[in-house]
Amino acid sequence: MMDTVLKLVPGWCWWLLAMTLVGGGQQLRVVGLQDDLTTAKDAAQTAGEKLAACRETRGNLLVQVGEQNQALAGLRQAALDRQAVARKEQEAARQQAEEDYQAANRLQQERIGGDACVASQAVIDKELGL
């Protein structure tokens, strides 16, 4: 009975039905692939935008690091300059203190008769040229 029903439909109809089914399946596959392609394209665009943002941020950070390095180099140089000035002033203070130290030693070594305060005052006045 099934065989007679199949024989009632002409061969070209079966061929047309087969082509329609195959074409419809292929169309469904193409639509699915287009959706996948759109999704992948959107994901790639998003990733590209993130990459561009990361590169811009990286560039900004490199500029900031360069500025910080320059500032640190300036601070190091300023510290070295201050250290050199401090050494010079320390040496000058040491020389001045040496003169005062020698004067104090002379005061201690001189002996002037009378009251110790009067003697000290006389020696100090003598040192100062008064």
Q: What is d(CA 97, CA 107) in angstroms, rounded to the nearest whole number? A: 15
1 domain residue, yes or no: no
2 domain residue, yes or no: no
Overall average pLDDT of the 86-90 stretch: 95
Confidence of residue 78 (pLDDT cuts 50, 70, 90): very high
Confidence of residue 129 (pLDDT cuts 50, 70, 90): confident
Number of structural domains, the chain?
1
66 domain residue, yes or no: yes
Full domain range(s) for residue 18: 11-128
4 domain residue, yes or no: no
Residue 3 clears pLDDT 70, i.e. is over it: no
